[in-house]
Amino acid sequence: MLEGQRRFDLLVRLEEGYRTDYANLGRLRIDLPEGRGQIELRELADIGEGTGPNAVNREYARRRIVIRCNTQDRDLAGAVAEIQQRITERVNLPEGYFAEYGGQFESQQRATTLIAVLAGISVVGMFVVLMILYPSIRICL
């Protein structure tokens, strides 16, 4: 909810049995600010069974939803490549939306990059040491 420049979360907790009774949930009355009366919840929100998230998470002031999956019996890079391909082909993300791949895949990518950088530095270091011992590029190569 907005009040001037400030935002407030509206949280309604009900007993388990009432949470999926959508007809009665829409009739839930909410007090308006400054004693202006009451309004039914169905006038403020669409209520029904859905497939969306049950919470809006935020990270760096942006909304975020996490989708987890298990790549059992598959290699991680291959599974992520297939997911990326399908999202590119089938999902049109609105402006300002993007998909980010994290978790073990992100760690694996960082480790691979680090190994490649360290391997390059090692080769250059060995070349420098060989040049000091044998001042001939031909011999060092």
Per run of 10 residues, the mean pLDDT along the chain (length 141 residues) is 71 76 82 84 75 67 79 84 89 85 86 96 94 88 84
How much is the pLDDT for 6? Answer: 76
* Cα-based angle 2, 63, 68 (whole degrees, multiple of 5): 145
* Residue recorded with tokens 């691979």: 112
H or E segment and range at residue 6: strand 6-7
How much is the pLDDT for 129? Answer: 93
How much is the pLDDT for 131? Answer: 92
Query: How far apart are the C-alpha atoms of 3 and 31, rounded to whole Å?
Result: 15
How much is the pLDDT for 54? Answer: 60
How much is the pLDDT for 115? Answer: 97
Residue 41: φ, ψ to 5°: -60, -35
Query: How far apart are the C-alpha atoms of 128 and 133, rounded to whole Å?
Result: 9
